[in-house]
Amino acid sequence: MKSTRISINDLKPNMKTADAIFTRNGVILLDEGSTLTETLIHKIKNMTTIDSISIIDENQDNDENENYTSYEINTNYKVTFRDPKNIKLDIKIEHTEMLLRESVYQMNTPHNRIANKVKFVSNFILDEFNDYSGVLENIMKLKSKENDVCRHSLNVASLCFMIGTWLKYPNDKIQKLIKSALLHDIGKIDILNKNIIDLKKCEISYCHPQLGYETIINIDDFDEEITSGILMHHEREDGSGYPFALQGHEIPQFAKIIAVADVFENLISQKKLNPFKALEILERDYMLKLDLNIMKLFIKKFSTYYIGSKVILSTGEIGKIIHFANNNIKTPLIMVGSSFIDLSIVKNISIKDFAF
């Protein structure tokens, strides 16, 4: 199928869309192959941020095969990822979340179907989430709400993907780490859906890692490395974790990585801290509880992706991060207008939040 890209100002009724079109919120507006009408053209102009779209060129040969991934989910719409490089990152993330939510984190998903769905999502993260600063910005913007296991798990999996890459894991190992992270809290779903027990009581009685493990253990696609991340992500280096109160040397690597990402995600989402404050708390309160090497790597690498980011200072001014001296994430050098503020020297000014 041949297509031509044209300005949205040149759209005419009866033209056919070559790709799916999404609203500015990432919701599908038109599927591929849709025939345009005056109303639809009006919607494209008013509900999207795009300035051009691909139109099927009816005058050219129609016999070219294209590779695309189409994935049916059990609702009345279809998620189609066509040529993902042309789709904005935030839309890719939005769709990945929708897919995960509809296919895994809902009631009645047969356990034997989880493997395929998780494989699809982990492949997509591996292939498409390579703009780390964009993914981090998205995590900050779309924080998980209380009991939203799906969004939390996607955020944790995205962070684990980065940590796995920074640790120079081969791709197949990163994919397993992503799968483990996507499912690390799956035990909470059974609890929430079946109302077996109030979630807070469950946290106290430490049952969700074990429940999640029992859900996943009999699925062939999930080996011991993956299931250990689910079972042991609440273990802590000093033996204060659960369910087994293991010491650091007894905790598998996947569980250690998921633990760092999990704690960080909870600090920014549940505690509503900005990432700088969250990293400060990580360093201050989790030094003996989380794997030190992973935590240091996380903090060091994390800071590099914030160089150039706009931040709101406690003075109300908006500045740009220029540099982190000695990898100290708490006190970067900030440029405000044409002057510089070194937060390692100016102690009465701090970063309040990001300016998106």
CB of 234 to Fe ion, least distance (A): 6
Does residue 235 bind Fe ion (CB under 5 A)? no
Q: Which stretch binds Fe ion (CB under 5 A): 41-49, 56-64, 141-149, 185-193?
A: 185-193
Distance CA 17, CA 20 (A): 7
What residue has token string 């009999």? 218
Size of the site for Fe ion (CB under 5 A): 1
Q: Which CB, 137 or 185, lies closer to Fe ion?
A: 185
In the region spanning residues 61 to 100, those forming contacts with Fe ion, defined by CB under 5 A, are none
- CB 127: neighbour CB atoms within 10 A? 14
CB of 184 to Fe ion, least distance (A): 6
Q: Which CB, 124 or 254, lies closer to Fe ion?
A: 254
Q: Which CB, 19 or 185, lies closer to Fe ion?
A: 185
- The residue at minimum Cβ distance from Fe ion is 185
CB of 149 to Fe ion, least distance (A): 9
Does residue 265 bind Fe ion (CB under 5 A)? no
Nearest to 262 by CA among 238, 239, 282: 282
Does residue 185 bind Fe ion (CB under 5 A)? yes
Q: Which stretch binds Fe ion (CB under 5 A): 47-55, 73-81, 181-189, 190-198?
A: 181-189
Can you give the C-alpha Rg of the chain in angstroms? Answer: 23
Q: Which CB, 176 or 233, lies closer to Fe ion?
A: 233
Torsion sign, CA atoms 335, 336, 342, 343? negative
Query: Which residues sit at the interface with Fe ion, rule CB under 5 A?
Result: 185
